C-alpha cells in the first residue's frame, strides 16, 4: 500500500553461480506447474534455508516479473512477439522517422507478480479483493493479486499467505487452537486480534491494528510480540525495526487509498498495481506532492479527482494506457 | 589489435576531426537521412567517450563503423518495434494515435523489454509471457503454441535464464 509504494528495489544484483541459478529456475518452473505438493514446498523451503545464495537467486528471479509489465498491453505484446528482424539485412533501407525524445517518462512498472500459485485455495486477480469467512468465524480480506491457502487441523488454524496482502480478524476458536499465518519469511501467531500482512520482495510486512501478534522469522530463534499500532517488516532471518503503523494502513480493506503529502509518482504506482495496463507519468510532475482520499480500484476516477486540485491532466489513450501530464 | 592505451581527450578529438565527417557520410548512405546520420554520429562518439580506454587502431574507420553498425541495428530494431506497435494498435481497434513524446516513452519501454527477452524465439517469448503475465497453465500454453508441454517448460526456463542474464549478468 501507499506508505511504502516504491519498495522492493533492494534486491542484491550480484549474479549467483550457474548451478544455483539452474536449481532456482527449476524450482520456479516446478511451482508454475501447479503440482507442487506440501512435501515439495517444504523441500523448497529447505533449499532456500540452506544458503543465502539460494535466497538471492530466488529474489532475483522474482524481480524479473515487474519488468514484463509493458507487455500487458496487447499492442505491446504483439510488437514484442514479432520475430526480431535481421538488422544487418536492413542496413541501407530507409527507416520511418522516429522522434527520439531524450526525456524518459516514469513508467509505472512496479508490481511484483509472483509465480502463479495455481495450487492456492484462494487467488484474487488484479484490482479485485475477496472476503473469506473461515469455519472459526475468522474474517480475511484478500487484497488484489493475492493467494492464500487455508490449512486447519486439530492442532492449529493455519493460513499460508503465498502472495499479496491480507487483512485478518481472528474469530474465537472453541478448542483454542492457535491461529498462525505462515509466509515465506516466517510465521505470525495471532493473539486475539486484527492485523494486516503484506508480502513484499524482502519479507512480510505486519501491521497490528488491535491486540498483538507474535512474529517469528523462519530462521529466527524466538517469537517477538508486536503490539497494537506497530508495524514491522519480517525477513527470513530477522525482524526490521518497529515503526508506528500509518493511520490509514487498512484503508485498502475499504477500497480506499489515503494519501498524505506523497509524490504523485508513488500514488500512480499504487493505483497502477490495482489496474491492468500502463499508466505513464510525465517526469516533470512525478515529484508533485498530493493529498487526498481516492478509490483504490478505479484509477481513472482517482486520477480525475486528483486533476481537480492539482495542475495535471489525464489523457486516456486506450483502455490499456493512461498518460498523466502537466496541465 | 595492440594493447589498449589510456584514452586521452586529444586522441578522441583527432578521431573526431579526421573521421567524423566521413562517418556522417557513411551513416547518411545507410539511413538516407542527414538528421539521423548526425544523431548516430553523435551517439557513436558518446559511446567512445564512455569506454574506459580506446584501443590503438590501425583502421580507425573500420573501428568507427563497427560501433556505428551496432547503434544502427538498435535503431532499426526500435523502429521496427515501434512500427509493429502502431500497426497492432490500429489492428486492435485503438483509435488513439500517440504523440511523438508518448510514442518515444512506449518505444523505450518496449526496447528495454525486447533487450531483456534477447535472443528468445517468438514462441519462447510467447510461452514466457503467457505464463508470467497471463498465468496460463503449461498445457494451455502448449495448446496455443502447438508445442509439447515439456517444450513449454523449456521455453519458460530459457526465458528466466535470458532475463536473469540481461538483468544481473552471467552466472559465475
3-state secondary structure of B6: strand
Q: Which fold has domain B118-172?
A: Arc Repressor Mutant, subunit A (1.10.10)
For the segment B80-101, the average pLDDT, to the nearest whole number, is 78
Across all residues in chain A, what is the average pLDDT?
A: 77
Q: What is the DSSP string of B56-108?
A: P-S-HHHHHHHHHHHHHHHHHHHHHHHHHHHHHHHHTT------HHHHHHHHH
Identify the residue whose cell numbers are 473461515. Answer: A134
The partner residue sitting opposite B113, judged by closest CB among A67, A74, A280, is: A67
In the predicted model, is pLDDT for residue A23 greater than 80?
Answer: yes
Q: What percent of chain A has pLDDT over 70?
A: 80
- pLDDT level of residue B143 (50, 70, 90 thresholds): very high
3-state secondary structure of B53: strand
Contact status, residue A242 vs residue A80, Cβ threshold 8 Å: no
pLDDT tens digits, one per residue of A157-168? 999 898 889 999
Mutant choice from A22, A29, A109, A124 vs B, greatest count of B C-beta within 10 A:
A29
Using alpha carbons, select from A133, A131, A162, A130 the residue that is nearest to residue A149: A162
CA dist., res. B37 & res. A16, Å (int): 41
- pLDDT level of residue A92 (50, 70, 90 thresholds): very low
- pLDDT level of residue A87 (50, 70, 90 thresholds): very low
Which residues of A are less than 8 Å from B81 in CB distance? 79-80, 82
- pLDDT of A226 reads 95
pLDDT tens digits, one per residue of B30-82? 888 888 888 888 888 877 776 766 777 778 888 888 888 888 888 888 888 88
- Tell me how close the Cα of B154 comes to any Cα of chain A, in angstroms: 9
CA dist., res. B28 & res. B46, Å (int): 18
In the predicted model, is pLDDT for residue A200 greater than 50?
Answer: yes
> Would you call A105 and B105 a contact, using CB atoms and an 8 Å cutoff?
yes
| Residues of each domain in chain B carrying CATH 1.10.10 | 118-172
Least confident of A6-10, A225-229, A309-313: A6-10
In the predicted model, is pLDDT for residue B160 greater than 50?
Answer: yes
Whether the CB of A222 is below 8 Å from some CB of chain B: the reply is no
β-partners of residue A227 are A212
CATH architecture of A122-244: Sandwich (2.60)
Q: Is A109 or B139 the better-scoring residue by pLDDT?
A: B139
Q: Is A19 or B166 the better-scoring residue by pLDDT?
A: A19
- pLDDT level of residue A297 (50, 70, 90 thresholds): confident
The partner residue sitting opposite B100, judged by closest CB among A29, A79, A99, is: A99
In the predicted model, is pLDDT for residue A85 greater than 70?
Answer: no
CA dist., res. A78 & res. A178, Å (int): 50
pLDDT tens digits, one per residue of A203-248? 899 999 999 999 998 877 788 999 999 999 998 888 999 999 988 8
Which residues of B are less than 8 Å from A97 in CB distance? 33
3-state secondary structure of B123: helix
DSSP conformation class of B153: H
Contact status, residue B169 vs residue A15, Cβ threshold 8 Å: yes
Q: Is B153 or B73 the better-scoring residue by pLDDT?
A: B153
Using alpha carbons, select from A35, A173, A135, A107 the residue that is nearest to residue A320: A107
> Would you call A87 and B101 a contact, using CB atoms and an 8 Å cutoff?
no
- Tell me how close the Cα of A40 comes to any Cα of chain B, in angstroms: 18
Contact status, residue A85 vs residue B80, Cβ threshold 8 Å: yes
Query: How many residues does the structure list for chain B?
Result: 172
The partner residue sitting opposite B122, judged by closest CB among A28, A81, A113, is: A81
β-partners of residue A292 are A259
- pLDDT of A103 reads 24
> Would you call A98 and B101 a contact, using CB atoms and an 8 Å cutoff?
no
> Would you call A18 and B171 a contact, using CB atoms and an 8 Å cutoff?
yes
- pLDDT of A35 reads 61
- Tell me how close the Cα of B16 comes to any Cα of chain A, in angstroms: 23
Which residues of B are less than 8 Å from A59 in CB distance? none
For residue A61, the tally of other CB atoms under 10 A from its CB is 23
- pLDDT of A209 reads 93
CA dist., res. A165 & res. A126, Å (int): 12
- pLDDT level of residue B8 (50, 70, 90 thresholds): low
- pLDDT of B142 reads 94
Q: Greatest CA separation found in chain B?
A: 61
Q: Is B138 or A320 the better-scoring residue by pLDDT?
A: B138
> Would you call A29 and B153 a contact, using CB atoms and an 8 Å cutoff?
yes
In the predicted model, is pLDDT for residue B3 greater than 50?
Answer: no
ipTM: 0.76
pLDDT tens digits, one per residue of A117-144? 434 567 776 777 889 998 888 999 998 8
Q: How far is CA A145 from CA A111, A304, A320, A324, in A?
A: 10, 24, 18, 24
Q: How far is CA A281 from CA A259, A296, A302, A326, B45, in A?
A: 17, 18, 14, 9, 31
Using alpha carbons, select from A27, A14, A18, A36 the residue that is nearest to residue A58: A27
Which residues of B are less than 8 Å from A104 in CB distance? 105, 108
Whether the CB of A284 is below 8 Å from some CB of chain B: the reply is no
**Which B-chain residues 91-110 have CB contacts (< 8 A) with chain A?**
91-92, 94, 96, 98, 100-110
Which residues of A are less than 8 Å from B83 in CB distance? 96
- pLDDT of A36 reads 63
Provide the residue ranges of all domains of chain A, joining segments of one domain with +: 18-68, 122-244, 251-326
For the segment B143-170, the average pLDDT, to the nearest whole number, is 92
CA dist., res. A280 & res. A266, Å (int): 12
Using alpha carbons, select from A159, A166, A230 the residue that is nearest to residue A198: A166
- pLDDT of A243 reads 92
- Tell me how close the Cα of B47 comes to any Cα of chain A, in angstroms: 16
Cβ-Cβ pairs closer than 8 A, A with B, add up to 192
The partner residue sitting opposite B110, judged by closest CB among A60, A63, A79, is: A79
Which residues of B are less than 8 Å from A64 in CB distance? 116, 132, 160, 163-164, 167
pLDDT tens digits, one per residue of B103-130? 777 888 888 888 888 888 889 999 999 8
- pLDDT of A188 reads 96
The partner residue sitting opposite A79, judged by closest CB among B30, B69, B88, is: B88
Whether the CB of B161 is below 8 Å from some CB of chain A: the reply is yes
Q: How far is CA A49 from CA A10, A105, A284, in A?
A: 19, 39, 44
In the predicted model, is pLDDT for residue B162 greater than 60?
Answer: yes
For the segment A96-108, the average pLDDT, to the nearest whole number, is 25
User: For helices B34-50 and B9-31, what crossing angle results, to 10°?
Assistant: 150
Candidates 3.40.50.300, 3.30.420.240, 3.55.50.30, 2.40.50.660; CATH matching A251-326: 3.55.50.30
Across all residues in chain B, what is the average pLDDT?
A: 82
Amino acid at each position: 500500500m501507499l506508505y511504502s509504494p516504491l519498495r522492493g528495489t533492494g534486491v542484491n544484483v550480484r549474479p549467483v553461480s550457474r548451478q544455483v541459478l539452474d536449481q532456482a529456475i527449476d524450482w520456479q518452473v516446478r511451482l508454475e506447474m501447479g503440482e507442487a505438493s506440501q512435501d515439495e514446498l517444504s523441500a523448497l523451503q529447505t533449499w532456500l534455508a540452506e544458503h543465502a545464495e539460494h535466497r538471492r537467486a530466488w529474489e532475483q528471479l522474482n524481480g524479473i516479473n515487474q519488468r514484463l509489465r509493458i507487455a500487458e498491453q496487447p499492442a505491446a505484446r504483439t510488437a514484442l512477439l514479432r520475430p526480431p528482424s535481421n538488422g544487418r539485412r536492413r542496413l541501407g533501407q530507409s527507416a520511418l522517422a522516429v522522434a527520439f525524445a531524450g526525456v524518459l517518462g516514469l513508467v509505472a512498472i512496479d508490481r511484483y507478480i509472483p509465480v502463479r500459485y495455481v495450487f492456492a485455495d484462494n487467488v484474487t486477480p488484479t484490482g479485485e479483493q475477496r472476503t473469506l469467512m473461515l469455519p472459526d468465524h475468522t474474517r480475511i480480506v484478500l487484497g488484489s493479486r493475492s493467494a492464500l491457502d487455508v490449512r486447519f487441523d486439530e492442532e492449529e488454524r493455519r493460513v499460508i499467505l503465498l502472495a499479496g496482502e491480507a487483512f485478518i480478524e481472528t474469530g474465537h476458536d472453541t478448542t483454542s487452537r492457535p491461529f498462525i499465518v505462515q509466509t515465506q519469511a516466517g510465521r505470525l501467531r495471532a493473539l486475539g486480534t486484527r492485523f494486516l500482512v503484506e508480502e513484499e520482495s524482502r519479507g512480510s510486512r505486519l501491521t497490528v491494528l488491535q491486540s498483538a501478534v507474535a512474529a517469528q522469522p523462519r530462521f529466527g530463534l524466538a517469537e517477538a510480540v508486536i503490539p497494537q499500532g506497530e508495524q514491522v517488516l519480517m525477513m527470513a532471518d530477522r525482524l526490521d525495526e518497529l515503526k508506528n503503523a500509518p493511520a490509514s494502513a487498512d484503508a485498502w480493506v475499504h477500497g480506499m487509498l489515503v494519501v498524505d503529502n506523497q509524490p504523485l509518482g508513488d500514488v500512480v504506482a499504487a493505483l497502477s498495481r490495482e489496474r491492468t495496463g500502463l499508466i505513464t507519468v510525465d517526469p516533470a510532475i512525478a515529484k508533485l506532492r498530493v493529498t487526498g482520499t481516492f478509490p483504490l480500484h478505479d484509477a481513472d476516477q482517482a486520477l480525475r479527482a486528483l486533476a481537480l486540485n492539482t495542475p495535471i491532466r489525464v489523457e486516456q489513450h486506450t483502455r490499456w494506457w493512461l498518460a498523466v501530464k502537466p496541465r | 589489435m595492440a594493447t589498449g592505451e589510456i584514452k586521452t581527450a586529444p586522441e578522441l578529438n583527432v578521431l573526431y576531426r579526421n573521421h567524423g565527417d566521413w562517418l556522417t557520410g557513411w551513416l547518411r548512405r545507410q539511413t538516407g537521412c542527414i538528421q539521423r546520420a548526425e544523431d548516430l554520429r553523435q551517439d557513436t562518439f558518446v559511446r567512445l567517450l564512455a569506454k574506459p580506454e580506446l584501443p590503438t587502431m590501425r583502421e580507425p574507420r573500420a573501428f568507427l563503423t563497427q560501433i556505428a553498425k551496432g547503434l544502427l541495428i538498435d535503431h532499426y530494431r526500435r523502429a521496427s518495434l515501434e512500427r509493429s506497435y502502431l500497426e497492432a494498435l490500429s489492428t486492435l481497434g485503438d483509435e488513439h494515435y500517440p504523440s511523438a513524446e508518448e510514442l518515444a516513452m512506449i518505444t523505450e519501454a518496449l526496447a528495454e523489454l525486447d533487450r531483456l527477452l534477447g535472443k528468445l524465439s517468438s514462441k519462447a517469448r510467447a510461452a514466457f509471457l503467457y505464463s508470467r503475465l497471463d498465468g496460463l497453465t503449461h498445457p494451455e500454453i502448449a495448446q496455443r503454441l502447438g508445442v509439447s508441454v515439456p517444450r513449454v517448460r523449456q521455453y519458460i526456463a530459457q526465458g528466466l535464464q535470458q532475463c536473469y542474464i540481461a538483468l544481473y549478468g552471467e552466472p559465475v
